[in-house]
Amino acid sequence: MTFQEDIESLRLPFLCVVMIFTFSCTQTEKYQGRYVSSPGDSRKDAAITVELKETGHGLWMMADEEVEIRWEVRKGQLLLHTKSGGVIIGKINGDLIEIQQPDSKVLYLRKAH
């Protein structure tokens, strides 16, 4: 096998890796940003802010509390992973995230532009 043949045989796997990387970046890129609830939507009547960073990490902020999270999008759902091992699941609809809370109340977070 010549050097040229070696290069040719690696072209397809390389293109597949590049396409997967590109697709995964664009998938999360559109969800990055800061999302804010309206005051009164949460149990403590304080606005909740969720910041989704490009690294797949972020923050859940309410009043003077901050919780670090890790996030991912899977099958149209936003999964927010907490350090304690819990997962908060949100439905994404454009610039709106809808989270069903345990008390049957729905929390709406709108993307701040």
CATH code for the domain of 80? 2.40.128.640
76 confidence band (pLDDT: 50, 70, 90): confident
Q: Is the pTM of this model over 0.85?
A: no
Give the per-residue pLDDT at 24. Answer: 47
Nearest to 96 by CA among 39, 27, 37: 37
Check whether residue 39 and residue 23 sit in a common domain.
no
Q: What are phi and psi of 2, to 5 degrees?
A: -90, 170
Residue of 77, 96, 78 lying closest to 35 (CA atoms): 96
89 forms bridges with which residues in the sheet? 79
Owning domain of residue 24:
1-30
Residues 6 and 22 in one domain: yes
Q: What's the rounded Cα separation, in Å, for the pair 42 and 101?
A: 9
73 and 42 within one domain: yes
Share of the chain above pLDDT 70, in %: 69
Q: Are residues 7 and 52 in the same domain?
A: no
Our count of domains for the chain comes to: 2
β pairing state of 57-62 and 65-74: antiparallel
Q: Does 26 share its domain with 47? A: no
Domain check: are 18 and 40 in the same one?
no
Task: Report the half-sphere exposure of 25 (CA within 13 A, side-chain side).
Answer: 6
Q: What are 24-51's pLDDT values in tens digits?
A: 444 678 899 999 997 666 556 678 999 9
Distance CA 38, CA 40 (A): 6
